[in-house]
């Protein structure tokens, strides 16, 4: 069997933590390696267990989910942060995506959608409504660097993949568009994330827009 997706759960409500842990235990391809009741403990558990995905709430003692996301992105860019919260305000979404979150979910989500979202962010997908993503990209593009970085680190193929990802295409859709296999698309995304030192496709696009070597109209 493939190696299970290693997950850390952080929420200050015990019922949510344990309920989510038990729910995920029903799926053989997911392993909960730690739970945390506050943001500081979450960072400690990420350092200790090096998960693939951190499932975090926004409102937590010690450190907020935004702070946890930002620190995780700096220390462990390969860890995909998936936010699970009751807050749906635009400012929270924007702050978390800018901090490096790979996805943003509300707590009324069903089990099937939660499990699918964990799998998707682990595969390099972005879990967010496309309209929210587009509004964020538009705001960032208007504040982007007017002098593009001449040392743009991506290959032409990686740029093609990133542009399609930024337009909201799934890995499978990117594969069809570029006549590649889904596995090859995942490999390109991993290379993009490593080169840009980010953990999600959304954060990769944000980097390109801010540095000026990616234009909003290139995202479809």
Q: Dump pLDDT digits (tens) for 175-187.
A: 999 999 999 998 9
Q: How confident is the model at residue 127 (pLDDT cuts 50, 70, 90)?
A: confident
State residue 23's pLDDT score: 95
Sign of the torsion angle spanned by Cα atoms 172, 173, 176, 179: negative
Higher pLDDT, 1 or 119: 119
Total domains in the fold of the chain: 2
CATH code (residue 19)? 3.40.50.2300
State the Cα–Cα distance between residues 216 and 205, nearest whole angstrom: 9
Asked if residue 144 and residue 117 are part of one domain, the reply reads: no
Asked if residue 48 and residue 121 are part of one domain, the reply reads: yes
State residue 161's pLDDT score: 94
Query: Residue 189 pLDDT more than 60?
Result: yes
The pTM for the full model equals 0.75
CATH code (residue 202)? 1.10.10.10
State residue 69's pLDDT score: 94
Q: Which of 64, 94, 128 is the last residue of a domain?
A: 128
Q: How confident is the model at residue 207 (pLDDT cuts 50, 70, 90)?
A: confident
Asked if residue 76 and residue 185 are part of one domain, the reply reads: no
* 116: exposed, middle or buried (Cβ count in 10 Å: 0-12, 13-18, 19+): middle
Higher pLDDT, 133 or 60: 60
**Cβ-based neighbours of 187, under 8 Å, separated by 6 or more:** none
Asked if residue 122 and residue 13 are part of one domain, the reply reads: yes
Full residue range of the structural domain in which residue 62 is found: 5-128
Averaged over 133-159, what is the pLDDT?
72
Spell out the alpha helix ranges (H) of the chain: 14-24, 39-49, 65-75, 90-99, 111-122, 130-142, 156-166, 171-178, 182-196, 201-211
Half-sphere exposure of 22 (CA within 13 A, CB side): 6
Asked if residue 46 and residue 111 are part of one domain, the reply reads: yes
Q: Which of 96, 128, 160 is the last residue of a domain?
A: 128
State residue 97's pLDDT score: 82
Asked if residue 101 and residue 26 are part of one domain, the reply reads: yes
Averaged over 166-182, what is the pLDDT?
91
Asked if residue 76 and residue 121 are part of one domain, the reply reads: yes
């Amino acid at each position: 069997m493939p190696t299970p997706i290693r997950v850390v759960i952080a929420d200050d409500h015990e019922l949510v933590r344990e309920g989510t842990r038990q729910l995920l235990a029903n799926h053989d391809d997911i392993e909960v390696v730690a739970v945390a009741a506050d943001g500081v403990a979450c960072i400690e558990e990420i350092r200790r267990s090096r998960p693939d995905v951190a499932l975090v709430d926004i409102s937590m003692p010690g450190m907020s989910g935004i702070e946890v996301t930002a620190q995780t992105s700096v220390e462990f860019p390969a860890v995909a942060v998936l936010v699970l919260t009751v807050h749906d305000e635009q400012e929270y979404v924007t702050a978390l995506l800018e901090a490096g979150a790979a996805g943003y979910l509300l707590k009324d989500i069903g089990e099937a959608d939660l499990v699918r979202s964990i799998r998707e962010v682990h595969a390099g997908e972005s879990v967010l409504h496309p309209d929210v993503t587009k509004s964020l990209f538009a705001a960032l593009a208007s504040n982007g660097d007017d002098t593009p970085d001449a040392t743009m680190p991506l290959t032409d193929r990686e740029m093609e993949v990133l542009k399609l990802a930024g337009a909201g295409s799934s890995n499978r859709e990117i594969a069809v568009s570029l006549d590649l296999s889904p596995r090859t698309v995942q490999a390109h995304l991993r290379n993009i994330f490593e080169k840009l030192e980010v953990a999600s496709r959304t954060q990769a696009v944000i980097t390109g827009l801010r540095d000026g070597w990616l234009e909003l109209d290139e995202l479809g």
